[in-house]
Structure 1
Amino acid sequence: MRPTPSGSSSFRLLSVTLALLISLFSPESEAREFKRIRDISVDCSDALSCDLSTYNAQSELYTVIFRRRASRDAPVELVLGVRETLAPGSEVTMRIDGAEVVRLPVSELSYRAAVYEYIFRGEAEISKLIEYAKTGMDLRVSYRTRGTETVSAFSLSGFIAGLIFMDEVQGRVGREDALYAAAGTPDRDAAPVREITSFSEIPFQIRGHFSDMPSARCGGMDEDRFADLGGFEARTGDSVYLVGLPCGPGGAYNQPFAFWERTGSSFRAVALPVMSAEGPTTSELAWNISWDQERRELTGFFKGRGLGDCGSFDRWIWTERDEGFAFVLVESRVKAECDGDPGGGPDNWPSLWPPE
């Protein structure tokens, strides 16, 4: 039986009311923002209070969070998520890529028992930690619970992208209170990597290494080949850059690159740690390179022959030390037999470092 007109009107009114209620209470109507970038998560509430966090499910201290509310003058808070309370009178030490950045007495942390969080509000220490994290890859947090010293490890991969997303959500991009792209910050808005494709673009302080003189470290190279290969200058700190340039004529399928650290107008040649059959040593060159700006990661693949079925593969992280930046070897693989079988590619070749 067809509904009466009055019944039809009641049905339409009920439908509109239900649709309105659904739109008001449905999760899709919330302004909440979330993004996962590699090992970093950014979660922003309806009020645009944002948590940038890195997570380790296997640890007693299982998350490190940089929390900031949306107001213009809001400071950044450091939040530590724990499963057990920290030992009174102890300290929390935070190291990035092996370098100690901050040491926080537990007495200076506020504990929120309802959510198992410790909160620290020291602006100078948090600012220092963020700056180190921008160029770091590995965060280690040392602490004590129930008299036991413990270390939790966290990845910082994606940290810069997380800061940028947090600034975007809170409307801080280009402002002085931005965590990454702050207004008036030198070189912050410039491209993080500058391509170098001609001899004239090489900084004059090291250009002599590319001259035609027999004593030139990287001499004997045609400028057209240099342009085809290209080098780079990558910003890796507030005033620190890594310069990587083709060095020497190379061969049919292998091209060496040399590296310098630039701080202001000063240049320092950088060696690369490598493994040999006799043990650890260093090299002035890396071959057939690839640079990952976000990870601060350099890879080199020396081909035993053009087929690429043999040779050596190395991976380094560009890391800040007390005396400056340095390459740290994190992976070295070798396949000596040129047998026509690529063995799944250099990522799967037998490992020299770390030992299998």
Structure 2
Amino acid sequence: MQPSVSRDFRASALRQTVVWLVVLFCLVAVLPAMASQFKRIRDISVSCNDALTCDVSAYNAQSELYTVTFRRRASPDAPVELVLGVRETLTPGSDVLLEIDGAEIVRLPVADLSYRAAVYEYLFRGREEIAALMGSAKTGRTLRVSYRTRGVDTVSRFSLAGFVAGLIFMDEVQGRVGRPDALQADGPGTSGGEGTIREVVSFSDIPFQLRSEFTSPSGSCGGLQEQPFAKLGGFDAEAGAGVRLIGLPCGSGDAFNQPYAFWERDGPRFNRVAFPVIAEEGPSTSSTAWNVEWDDERKILTSLFKGRAAGDCGILNRWAWKTGESENAFVLIEARATAECGSGDPQSWPIVWPVGG
């Protein structure tokens, strides 16, 4: 289902955008669009999916072991995981040595790492070792990783500039600022609880009442395999008034657009949530939102349908989740659109809603 477009769109411009989408879809590999919050801080990258699982990563594109990542899920008691991205598998029986500014911090036997072949990652969950590594990284300048691959001893070096700021951004996205479970911006506040987002990363995580919508070929959200589903980031979040809001990738998208569907869960009852939009003919609703970002603290959902990969044309919608005595619903608070690719930041696109805004 294509998203609605504003009445300000010229029919010819809309047709041209659709043609561009079809051409680009045929020219590029069909990979699922990734919805996330991302920030680059000096030499550190922070990426969080819609379930608020966040990665704080240092990169060295020239190395076979090219990334060192600290990963944490959104729940208050979630541990930090160490993830090593590799191009070649590590030699069995060898060690991975991590040093900061010349001092050995952690030595990890390869046998203690879990290898995920599908994504070329080694995963380590030792809490004490990871805490020691993060503590040194907060005050350090350079991380040096020594390892053996293909029978050759190799070294990768990573700048830690921006690491502390990256942890702060992760705390902000996950709503931990001022709480004791924050990694950097901690404080005496209470940690989350019932309001914590639960990540949905497999079909088995989907409530059984909805699962057939994804696993059955005739389901409304069928057609998306489990591996890309896991990467896209579904979530189950507390939404106020005793209900939860479930947002899940729904069906196959194209190279840079992924549809999502949402359900409101009130006890054993599940209600599919509609999205108010502005169509050419006037106000309407859509059953899906595209490339979503969920702000759990403010309960605001942002959707950006891209006219092309750069995201410099298309349709931007922003909804606020509102709870009421008789019903709960998404309320459209902003809509912007343009068919003129090259228009830059979506926040600068022409306003479709509110009228005269």
Pick 1 or 2: higher relative contact order, CA cutoff 8 A, min separation 6: 2
TM-score class, shorter: 0.3 to 0.5
